[in-house]
Amino acid sequence: MGPGGIATIIAASSLLVIAIAVSYAVIRVGRFIDEAKTSLKAVTDEATPLIEEVHTTVTLVNGPLQSFNRMTKNVEDISEKITSATSDFIDKSGPALKVAGALVSAAQMGKVRSKKKKKKKAE
């Protein structure tokens, strides 16, 4: 056996080692993919009920929120109507100011009359 035969044996041994390393890497990658698939299936199986529970919870919360939204809309409508009615009443100023002035003057005249009556009784 000459130097060429020894080189051939070394090259064949090197190719065998490389083939074993590549097959080991392929087997490891295959196991990794299987493990990832199993983990993904477990996460999916656990997440589906959670998502359904969240959906149910959100649906249950939305009912009262819609009712609350209707109530606040009604309150908003009422307050707008009151605001427009009072602004219309005050903007027209004639009747509102006349009534307010008459009430104030009547109240003042009543006070003055009661003071005069007390003075007359005291004399």
Predicted confidence (pLDDT) per residue in 29-80, tens digit? 999 999 999 999 999 898 988 999 999 999 999 888 888 888 999 988 998 8
Tokens of 9: 């044996």
Question: Can you give the residue ranges of every domain in the chain?
Answer: 3-91, 92-123
Q: Quick one: what percent of the chain has pLDDT higher than 90?
A: 39
pTM score over 0.85: no
Between 22 and 84, residue with greater pLDDT: 22
What is the mean predicted confidence (pLDDT) over 80-90? Answer: 78
Dist CA 22 CA 20 (whole Å) = 6
